[in-house]
Amino acid sequence: MGRPRLCCFAPRVLEADEHISDSSSPDGRNVFDRDTIRKEDFPTESRSDALIHQKVLEAATKLVLGRSASVSQASPTAAAAKKMMPPLPRASSSRSRSMQDQILPSGDLGKKQEKSEDMLIQEKVLEAATALVMGRSTSVRQGSPISAVTAGGGGKKRMSPLPRTSSSRPRSITDQILLPENLMKQEPSVKDLETNHFVLVHGGGFGAWCWYKSIALLRDDGFKVNAVDLTGSGVHTFDTNNITSLAKYVEPLTSFIETIRDGDKVILVGHDFGGACISYAMEAFPSKVAKAVFVSASMPMNGQSTLNILSNQEGTNDLMRQSQIFQYANGKDHPPTAIDLDKSMLDDLLFNQTPSKDVALASVSMRPIPFAPILEKLSLSAPNYGSVRRFYIETMEDNAIPLSVQESMCSSNPPERVFQLKGSDHSPFFSKPQSLHKILVEIANLPANERAAAVHESETALS
C-alpha cells in the first residue's frame, strides 16, 4: 500500500518500538529526517485531536519548507489525515432524557461545539508552531489549559511532543530546501579537468605499495592512477647499494613519463625523498606535468640536495639520526652506499598516528634508501621546473620531517598553495587517507587559467 507523501518528505506511521529522530543537513542546518507521526498521535477518543495534528503538520511543513502548504481535500496531507481520522465519538450514556433537560437548538449546539474545537485547535497549533520556531520541543504538560482534551468521560489525553531540532535560529523562507538527491554523495566530474591522471611517487625506503589507499580512493572517483617503484624500491629488484646517482634512482619514473603522449599531462605527487624525484622530473618534462604535489616532502631549490635541506635546519628532531643505520657496501673507508632504518623505531619516527596493520605492512616491506641520490644537488631552472604549478601538503604531527622544516621549505621556495593535514604523521596515506584524498582532488580541480600567477611566483623564488 502506498504511503502519502508531502513534497520531498514522506509522513510515515511508526510502530510501537520505533522512535522519532532528527538529523542535520550537511550545511549545518537541522531538518526533519522524516515527518514521522505515530499511530497513537491520532486517538480514537476525539475528532479534534486529529484536526489538531492535521493543522500542526501543515504549520510545521510551512516552517520547514519555507513556503505555504495549503492542505486541500485533494492534497496528499489532507488525504492522509482524512484516512487516519476516526469517526466522531457517540455518547454512551444510558440515562433516559427527562422533561427538565434543557433542549438546545441544533444550530446553537453546532456553533458552540465548532467554536470550542476551533479555539482549542488554534491554541495547540500556536504552541506547536512556537516550539518549532524557538528550536525546542514543546511537551504538553498535564494541567496546562492547552494540554487537557476532554474526551467522553472527562479523562485527559496527553499530546505526543513534536520532533525537535537542535537549531536555535528561527527558520527563514530563504533557507535552501534540501532534496533527497542533494544528500547523496556527489561524485567529482573528471572529464573537464586539465588532467585526471595522477602519478604517485613514494619516499625513501617505501614503495608503490604505500599508496594502496590513495589509489583505491582516486580510482573510485574516476581518476587514472599510476604508482611507480623507484630503482631498488618496492618490488624493483635492483641492489640499492649500486645506485650511484639520482638519475638512476628515478629512472622508472622518467621512463614512465616518456611514454605519455605529447599534449597529455599528469599530476605528480611526491612523498618524502620523492619530492626531490618529482623535482627532477619537472625539470626534464615540464610540458607533461600539469601540477606537482609535495606531501611532507623535500622541495629543493636550484643547487640544493635533500641532505642540505634536512641537515641545515636548527631544532630538527634527533629521532631520524638515531634511527639511521648506514650500510658500507664498498667498505667503511668509503662513503656509505645506503641507509636503513631501525625497525624498532619506525612507530615513533614514521607511523606515530598510523593504524597498526599498516605499520605491520611497512615493517615487512620497507627497503634501504640509496645514499648517493640524497647527496646530489639538483639543477633546476625557471623555464622548466619553475613553469610547473607546485603545491605543498604539511603534516602536523610529523616526527621524520618536523613541521618547522616543512614551513621553512615553503617559506624559502613558496609553492602556489600550502595545505595542512591535522593529526597526520609522516605517512598521511596511512594515517589520514581520506583527508589526503580530498586535498588531492581539490588540487586536481583547480582550473588551468590560474597557471600564469603560479609561474610568476616560481620565477620570483628561483631568481
* Structure-block grid coordinates of residue 33: 529526517
Which of 53, 197, 202, 426 is catalytic? The answer is 426
Q: 327 Cβ partners below 8 Å, 6+ apart?
A: 241, 336, 337, 338, 339, 340, 368, 371
Distances from the Cα of 455 to the Cαs of 393, 451, 460, in angstroms? 19, 6, 9
Q: Are both 215 and 174 inside the same structural domain?
A: no
Q: Are both 209 and 339 inside the same structural domain?
A: yes
SS3 percent helix, strand, coil of the chain, rounded to 5, is: 40, 15, 45
272 a catalytic residue: yes
Q: Is residue 280 part of a domain?
A: yes
CA distance 246 to 375: 9
Q: Are both 270 and 380 inside the same structural domain?
A: yes
Q: Is residue 431 part of a domain?
A: yes
Q: Is residue 95 part of a domain?
A: no
* Nearest CA-CA partner of 388 in 290, 253, 276, 277: 290
Residue at a domain's end among 152, 183, 214? 183
* Structure-block grid coordinates of residue 156: 485527559
Q: Are both 159 and 236 inside the same structural domain?
A: no
Burial string for 373-391 (b: 16+ CB within 10 Å, else e) reads bbebebebeeebbbbbbbb
Q: Are both 41 and 119 inside the same structural domain?
A: yes
Q: Are both 239 and 324 inside the same structural domain?
A: yes
Q: Are both 240 and 115 inside the same structural domain?
A: no
* Structural domain for 70, as ranges: 12-88+111-183
Q: What is the pLDDT along the chain (463 residues), one digit of tens a residue?
A: 444 444 444 444 444 444 444 444 444 444 444 444 444 444 444 555 666 667 767 766 666 555 444 444 444 444 544 454 455 445 444 455 554 555 555 555 555 566 666 777 777 766 766 665 554 443 444 444 434 443 444 444 455 554 444 445 555 555 555 555 554 545 446 667 889 999 999 999 999 999 999 999 999 999 999 999 999 999 999 999 999 999 999 999 999 999 999 999 999 999 999 999 999 999 999 999 999 999 999 999 999 999 988 876 655 567 888 999 999 999 999 999 999 999 999 999 999 999 999 999 999 999 999 999 999 999 999 999 999 999 999 999 999 999 999 999 999 999 999 999 999 999 999 999 999 999 999 999 998 866 544 444 444 444 4
Q: Are both 126 and 232 inside the same structural domain?
A: no
* Structure-block grid coordinates of residue 314: 636548527
CA distance 174 to 176: 6
Total count of domains within the chain? 2
Q: Are both 303 and 356 inside the same structural domain?
A: yes
Which of 197, 398, 425, 437 is catalytic? The answer is 398
Other residues' Cβ atoms within 10 Å of the Cβ of residue 365? 15
Q: Are 231 and 253 in contact (CB under 8 A)?
A: no
Please report, for the domain that includes residue 395, its CATH number.
Answer: 3.40.50.1820
53 a catalytic residue: no
Which of 49, 229, 272, 425 is catalytic? The answer is 272
271 a catalytic residue: no
Q: Are both 367 and 411 inside the same structural domain?
A: yes
Q: Are both 121 and 235 inside the same structural domain?
A: no
